[in-house]
Amino acid sequence: MAMETGLLLLLVLAPAVYAADHTVGDSSGWSQGVDYTTWASSNTFTVGDTLTFSYSGLHGVDQVTKTNYDSCTAKALKSYNSGSDKVTLDQAGDWYFICPTTGHCDSGMKLAITVSAASSTPSTPSPPSTTPTTPSTPTPTTPSPPSTTPSPPSTTSPSTPTASAATILYNMNALVIGASVVLALLLG
């Protein structure tokens, strides 16, 4: 039973490693007088992340096209009005949101973000990679008499990792989930 519980926890918690929750406007929330262009530029958005819109009063959130964003026209692709709305960023590309209350979008209550694919850089900072590189094998050389001109630096560069940290984590997650399903079936 303990093993089954552990596997269930792996299945539930493993996907959460990849997603970040962004509170739109940080402590100011979704309200008038906030510079959402600056807020968006200070964040990185990745497929799987969520946006949390926190607001009160007459506000709302409409997801709109770029044309409707630019003209502040509330023709919503999706509308939210709970006061605490979570929007899952489920595809890469540009996303546009406005407040549908008359005059609010025109006064700056609108948000445009670009969402990157999940296999690119992670949305939260990660520690520097400590992946070891394979050193190149030195070519034997014959000693030459000393010269006054220094030799040029070597043009051999260290090898770079072939996959990003996010891709590696994604593959590990798939492996864990696959193994969990197989074990659950076997124990089942």
pLDDT band at residue 179, thresholds of 50, 70 and 90? low
Amino acid at 19: A
> What is the per-residue pLDDT for 139?
58
Task: Say if residues 79 and 67 touch (Cβ distance below 8 Å).
Answer: no
The arrangement of strands across the sheet holding 61-64 comes to 45-46, 110-116, 93-98, 61-64, 78-80
pLDDT value at 128 more than 90: no
> What is the per-residue pLDDT for 126?
43
Q: CA torsion, points 103, 104, 108, 112, in degrees to nearest 10?
A: -120
Question: Where does 19-116 sit in CATH, by number?
Answer: 2.60.40.420
* Complete DSSP assignment for the chain: -HHHHHHHHHHHHGGGGT--EEETTGGG-S-TT--HHHHHHT--EETT-EEEEE--TT--EEEE-HHHHHHT----SEEE-SSEEEEE--SSEEEEEE--STTTTTTT-EEEEEEEPTTSS-SS--PPP----PPPPPPP-------SSPPPPP-------SS-HHHHHHHHHHHHHHHHHHHHHHH-
Average pLDDT of the residues in 111-140: 62
> Of the given ranges (39-48, 75-84, 133-142), which has the lowest mean pLDDT?
133-142
pLDDT tens, 20-77? 999 999 999 999 999 999 999 999 999 999 999 999 888 999 999 999 999 999 899 9
pLDDT tens, 161-173? 333 444 444 555 5
> What is the per-residue pLDDT for 118?
79
Higher pLDDT, 129 or 88: 88
> What is the per-residue pLDDT for 57?
83
> What is the per-residue pLDDT for 19?
87
> What is the per-residue pLDDT for 134?
56
> What is the per-residue pLDDT for 188?
67
> What is the per-residue pLDDT for 49?
96
**C-beta atoms surrounding 175 within 10 Å:** 10
Higher pLDDT, 14 or 93: 93
Amino acid at 84: S
Domains of the chain: which residue ranges? 1-18+163-188, 19-116
